[in-house]
Chains A and B, each alone.
Chain A
Amino acid sequence: MRDTDTADLVDSLASSLTPVRPIWAPGRRMAFWSLAQLVFAVALVGGSTRPDLAPRLHSTAYLLELALLACATLLLARSALAAAIPGAERWRIAGLAFLAGTTALALSGAAGFDTTQAIDSFARIGVPCAVHTILLSLLPAAWLMVAAYRGAPLHPARAGMVAGAAGFLLGFTMMRLMCPVDEGLHMMVWHALPVALGTTVSAGAGALALGAWRHR
């Protein structure tokens, strides 16, 4: 059975066909993104690591937290790149990565809350951390958003959220190697909150922009 309208549409689509360059496979794009972010991280973090980094690296909790952050970031980035290809999405893995990321964020605040500090010094020390977290996250998050935009994501908000979460977790991880403050409230408000906000904004941006391929 060949419906006339559908047959007309097939004819129209075939006659207006233009060559397209297929987007790279997620594995290849992932390798490229990881390499670029590694260079970016080494260049930015290399000269300004926290003064107590060497002793902190002997702490099991700190190492576990960094390992969880790295795993979550890589899995989320891979999921964001896969979300650009219909049928290749990895939402379950993205869900597990979210869980790992949330656990790592919670671990970062496990040092306990100091509720005695004055609000002005809390903000004076914290605001630059929040700004740095956001700035360090923008490039990796934007890269993944653009990569998703170049594909055909079927779930734009979810793809945006996963791309944003990967980028902001990477920013958080870099700040974890730079900021010497481990106090829980500082970590939650000035480090983890920007990750949550960035992920939410990315989901909104994804919902607005990543469905555009349907109207091109």
Chain B
Amino acid sequence: MEDAAPSKEQDPSGWRAAAMRLAQEGDSGAYRELLDDSSSLLRRYLAKHIRGKDDLEDVLQEVLLSVHRGRHSYDPGRPFEPWLFAIARNVKADYLRRTISRQTWEVLVDEQPEQAAQPESSARLLSEALDSLPESQREAFRHLKIEGRSVEEAAALVGTTEGNLRVRAHRAYKALRAFLAR
């Protein structure tokens, strides 16, 4: 971070806005620090609305991905927190909507599907889940989780950076988890 930037301790809001500006310019160090700081803020906020730790981490990761994908929409002339929490509120609302609809469905369908426990059925389900992924994510998942390659090796094979491959694999896990939870 630049010397002239506001200090994190004395002016956290100013520091976050400055860090986001640097992130928009491509400063990955400032971005990592900002995402770590934002994760703590978001965890406290989300804990008020979401009970399970796994669910909370899922929603937090979804917020961080949305922050990343929408980072061009942050207006450097405005404070960072309203932008961040608007995204967090939106992702949280989506999660709560999904949860309510899933719970309603679970109440409506009270019989356990017996076939789901059978191995061939599970394999078919996993295959369907993999087929539903975009090619780039399926490839990342296959190299890392099915073929057990290292991130470095898989990235070289696919022809992308290690960071990109990790993001693709992460998106694949999330998509698979969502598919299998349906």
Contacts and interface: CB of A to CB of B under 8 A. Distances in A.
Nearest to B171: A215
A11 interface: yes
Nearest to A14: B32
Nearest to A216: B69
Interface stretch (A39-47, A80-88, A136-144, A174-182): A80-88
Interface string A53-88: 000000000000000000000000000000011111
Interface residues of A, number: 38
Contact of B61 (A9, A85, A86, A214): A9
B90 A154 contact: yes
Contacts of A21: 24, 72
A21 to B, nearest CB: 7
A18 B26 contact: yes
Contact of A152 (B28, B72, B77): B72
Interface in A171-216: 213-216
Interface string A1-28: 1110110111111111111111101100
A126 interface: no
Contacts of A86: 70, 73, 83, 86-87, 90
Contact of B161 (A8, A15, A19, A152): A15
Given A85-B73, A86-B73, A152-B72, 20 more contacts: A2-B36, A6-B60, A9-B65, A10-B64, A11-B166, A13-B64, A13-B163, A14-B32, A16-B164, A18-B26, A21-B72, A22-B24, A85-B83, A86-B83, A87-B82, A87-B87, A151-B72, A152-B70, A152-B87, A215-B69
